[in-house]
Each structure stands twice: as C-alpha cells, then as structure tokens.
Structure 1
Amino acid sequence: MKKINQSIIAICLGLCSLTSCKEDVPTYEENNDTREQAWLSVQKAANGVQDLVLFPQIEERKDAFRVNYGGVGYPAEDIEVTFTQDPLALDSVNRVRELSGLEPYLPFPAGSYSIDKSSAVIKAGTTNSDYLTITYNPTDFDLSKQYMLALKADNTIGYKFRSGSSTILYLAAVIEKAHAKTGWTAKVSSIHTGESTGVPGAIVDGNTATFWHTPYDAAAPNFPHWAEIDFAGEIYVTKIGLTKRQGNSTGFKTFDILGSKDGTTWITLAENQVMQQFEDAMQTFDIEPQYLKKIKLNLKDNFGTHAYTHLAEVDALGY
C-alpha cells in the first residue's frame, strides 16, 4: 500500500512538473474574440486626405490600401471588411468647403477608376488584411477641376473602427503654381544701360524691386519692344504672369504672347492682352496649357505717349 501511494505521488509530481515547464502564452499573443477591447483602422483613412497624382496625365496609376486590427492579442476569427462609396462623407466635406467660400469637390467621373475587389480579410491570428488596389485613369479628369472619392469600410460582425479611420478620402486635383526660375535667361529688344536695374535678367530674378528698362533718351527706340524668356528646358505652362515696375504706371499696355515648343519655332499663344495700369501685383494671362521651352512678349504700345517701357518680373504658371 505504501508503494502504491508513493507511485501515485510520483506521477502527480511528474504531471505538475510537466505543467510547470509549459510556458504560458502572453496575453498579447492570445486569440481574442471580444469586440470590447479591439478595433479596426484603415491606415490611409487615419492619415488624412490622400492625394492622387493626375499630372502628367498617363493612362493609368494605382494606389493600394488595407485594414489593420488593434487590441489585446489577435482576432480569433477572420474579419471581412467591405468597401463602398460614401456619398454622405463627400457631402459633409463639401458643406464645410461651401461655408468657407470654396468650390465643392466633384465626384470622380464615371468609369475613371476601379477597385480590384470589394473586400479585404484580416485572417484569424493576424493583424493586417490583404491589400486592395484602386486603379484610376488621370486622362479622364479635367485638370482645371477638383474631384474627391470617399470609400467607407465596414464589417458585419460587430467590430468598431477607430474614430476617423473608416473612410478614405481620395483627392484628385492639381495645384497650379509658379514654376521655379532656376536656369532661366532673358533677352530683350533694347536695354537702358545707364541703370543697373535695367538689365534683362531683372525680369527672371524673382525680385519685383528690380526691373528691365528700355532706353528713354531722345534717340530711344519706339514701340514695339520685346522680351524673350528661355526656360532652360521644357515645362508645362497654363498661364503667364507679369509683374509691372512697382509704383509706376508708364509701362506697356497691349501685348501678344508667343511660345516655342522646340526653342526655335514660334506660335501665337495670346493676342492683344492688356495690362492693368495701376495693379502692382502679378497679373496672369491664360494660354492653352502645353509644354514650352520659351516664351516671347511682343509689347505694342504704352499707356501714355512714352517710347520706352519697363517690366519687373515674368512668371510661368503650371503643373
């Protein structure tokens, strides 16, 4: 009897020893089926508005996104997350814009995008879903307008999303801006050499306090005058910006804008444009958007009877 008891004790000790040798699974590695301590997040929704690239307007671009799981441990079951358009989210954004005096975003043009699948799955025991890919065609968008697409994530098994992390806002728009003038050079019809500010480089130096000036002595050349700008390469131009000599209203009035795609052949971009005589800020003039290497200003007349003219700055706006 004593031997039997000793055997039982030995077996129990052995089992206890085996049990104590087995490592406990940390809480953060356990599978978890509660919804109270778990949440989902679409990373690109949490990161704010996502800018899509429209320019240059190639046939096709892509962007990928997925869903993350957060909480104690890992999900004990697969979590399927579906994505659908959310017109209410777009309406909400546009209400804010309209209150701020801004134009509302347009919905993406029909047929301009597709998504490779409507849902993504976070597998049990993992924290990230597979990727979804949106494919969009920049050529379907009007670059003069701004568009937005809202994609909302959802699931049918009760998981909540972190605040601000369920709807991706895709913005498709280009921002027109003045091109950098690095390497730009200028040639002009004539120069008033008596002043250091009269040189042609003054119109591309980014400084409105300097200016190009034609001669104004008795033998000075009369209109027309001209100024030619070399962009030192090809840039995409949508507008030409001109800034007149500051605090002076005796410059040129009417002018034409010419452009060159190859640096040699000139085409007319805009005719009989008129400067605002008393406007010191940059004045912009529309042209057909296109790639250009050079522009030329043909200056036709003056606001008064002067034969001379002057100009502070030339800019090219575009993408």
Structure 2
Amino acid sequence: MGACKKEEGYLEKSDTKEGALIYVSRQANAQKITVYPAKDTLISYDFGASFAAVGLPLNNIGVKFKVDDKAFDSVNVARTSQNLSPYIKLPESAYTISGLDVTIASGAITSNLVSLKYNAKNLDPNKAYMLPISIIDASGYKINPLLKTMFITTVKYKAPEILADRTGWAITASTTQAGDGSLASVLDGDLATFWHSQYSPVASSYPHWIQVDMLALTNVTSISMAPRNNNNTGFTKFNLKGSVDGTVWIDLLTAKAMDPNLKDLQNYELDAPTKVRFLKLEMTEGPQSYTHLAEFQVFKVK
C-alpha cells in the first residue's frame, strides 16, 4: 500500500468535455440472467451510466439508452460465421424496463439506475436469448465505443444433481436372454453384472428397449450408463423417452452415441430438467443384432 498527495483536480467540477467518457456502468462483455429454474416473481436487474474524466461534471448529464437491434444483428452475424447458433432476441413479453433515460448528477460519476424486470417463465430454458442495450446520447459527451453496449444474455441455471435412489424400481425389457445376465443387473450398482437381450433360440433384433418405473415423479436432469465390461458388441445409438403415466411419451434424448468400448459410466444430460415417472431406453443400433447393458443410473434435482 502506498500514499500520495491528493490531486485536487480529480475533485473539481468542470463543464469541459475534453477527455471525458460516458459508458455503461454494468458492462462486462455480457451480463447473464438466469432462465432456469423459473420463478413466479419478477426478477430485477439494474444498470446505469458512468462518467470517467479528470474531475467531476459541473452540470447534470442526461444519458439515453436504447434496445440496439443493429448490435443484435452484428453479434449473430459473428456467431453464424463461427458455426454457433444465433441468439433469439429477448421477447418483449418477458421483460419490462423502467426507463431508458438516466441522469449523472452534477458532481457525481454514476447515474440513477434503470431496472429491467424479467419473468423466466416466459422464456424457453432450451433457447439462448440476448438483449443488447446501448447508450445513444450523452448530452454531447463522448461515449466510450468499447463500453457503450451491454449484452444481456440468458444462462440456464444448473442445480446440484443427486443420484436417484433406485430401490424398488420396476423394470421391464423388450427381451431378456435366460441364463445370461439378468434385467435387475442394470440397477444393482455392479459394473460386472449385465442384462442381455435374447439371442437364443431365436435372436431378437433392433430396436431393443428397457423401461423403468421410478415409482414417483422425478425431476430428471441426466442419465449415466455403462456397457457390459467384458464385451464390446453392445448398442452404439439410443433414444431416451419419458412419461408421466407410462402411456404418453416425450423425447428426452434422441440419436445419442454410446461407446461400447468405454468400460465406465457415460453421462448424458437432458436439455432441461424434466419431471417424469417412467423412462424408456430405446437402443437403435449396434454391431450385432443383440445387445447388453451393465448399468443404468438416473440423476435428478429436488
């Protein structure tokens, strides 16, 4: 820590605009707002404008913001050129702004704050949204070109996952080979045991499936599976479906790859936590007509 003589010039008020800059006071490349979990109440996000110069402003500085469509298009052009999915503009139905005009008062370096309120329930957690807000006027003061726009983007909140307790779960399959593994093996926590689809006296063919009843609605976030540990001829592609009642099914994972050579748990995350009671693993491709599986785990959030 050091000390120096106080420079009075930094405390003096002046109306000169030379060397002074106005910028967004909560600008850090991108400000992220949470989409999941959705809440019933509006969430508030505040921002304003700041003044940078030697000295303090003598007079009030009026600063005007606007939702910047040109900045939105520019970012998406850049993302597309990098093979990234373009942002969706934050829909007006999902947010309100208290105002787009603020004032940096005489003798101050920050303005009053603008409040953006948004409702996560009006946003799809599987989509990426953006809202660029730029300073367009600052009472004749120069606007910092690097800090004039705040890019508000959405980020999905990832709650801590826990391994679902599989005690008592009911499990069925399209077929099971008698005397070669057992269906209960995929829920026993032992990678050395396995389930095997029927191959004798008549071999079953793809698609094969396993269905579990978790006994209660479960907010599923991901699954983990391990292939049979002493054989690499298991399935290589699969789908995962979920159901509340065991009758109407929705797609949770589609055309995912499974590596039968990787003898450990392989994790697959859902796009968003989904409440279901039943899960159906549909195995769709593999090097042989039969398949097998050592372990099936489910992760959830409360």
Tell me, yes or no, whether TM beats 0.5: yes
Shift of 1:178: 10
8 A Cα contact 1:61 1:135, kept in partner: yes
Q: Does 1:146 find its partner at 2:133?
A: no
Aligned with 2:72: secondary structure? helix
Aligned with 1:89: secondary structure? helix
Output the CA distance in 2 between the equivalents of 1:67 and 1:151: 12
Output the CA distance in 2 between the equivalents of 1:200 and 1:81: 62
Q: Which residue of the partner structure matches residue 29 of structure 2?
A: 48
Output the CA distance in 1 between the equivalents of 2:275 and 2:258: 31
Shift of 1:137: 2.5
Letter in 2 for 1:249: T
- Map Cα deviations across residues 35-80 of structure 1 (whole Å, 9 max, x no partner): 12322221222x1211111122335222101112222221100011
Equivalent of residue 310 in structure 1, options 293, 296, 302: 293
Q: Which residue of the partner structure matches residue 269 of structure 1?
A: 249
* Most deviating of 241-250 and 78-87: 241-250
Equivalent of residue 187 in structure 2, options 193, 200, 203: 200
Output the CA distance in 2 between the equivalents of 1:287 and 1:36: 51
Q: Does 1:68 find its partner at 2:50?
A: yes
Q: Which residue of the partner structure matches residue 111 of structure 1?
A: 93
Shift of 1:255: 8.3
- Map Cα deviations across residues 216-237 of structure 1 (whole Å, 9 max, x no partner): 9x99xx9998574869995354
Q: Which residue of the partner structure matches residue 39 of structure 1?
A: 21
Q: Which has the higher helix share?
A: 1
Gaps of 5+ in 2: 1-5, 173-178
Q: Does 1:235 find its partner at 2:219?
A: yes
8 A Cα contact 1:38 1:159, kept in partner: yes
Letter in 1 for 2:88: L
Q: Which residue of the partner structure matches residue 275 of structure 2?
A: 291
Q: Does 1:180 find its partner at 2:166?
A: no
Output the CA distance in 2 between the equivalents of 1:244 and 1:38: 64
Letter in 1 for 2:96: S
Letter in 2 for 1:144: N
Compared CA separation, residues 188 and 287, structure 1 to 2 (3 A)? farther
Identity of aligned residues (%): 19
Aligned with 2:115: secondary structure? strand
Letter in 1 for 2:249: L
Letter in 2 for 1:172: T
Gaps of 5+ in 1: 1-23, 204-209
Letter in 2 for 1:161: I
Letter in 1 for 2:29: G
Compared CA separation, residues 163 and 310, structure 1 to 2 (3 A)? same
TM-score by length of 1: 0.65
8 A Cα contact 1:116 1:133, kept in partner: yes
Shift of 1:275: 7.5
Q: Could you say which structure has the larger radius of gyration?
A: 1
- Map Cα deviations across residues 204-259 of structure 1 (whole Å, 9 max, x no partner): xxxxxx4651389x99xx9998574869995354x766564477124599887455
Number of corresponding residues: 276
8 A Cα contact 1:252 1:299, kept in partner: no
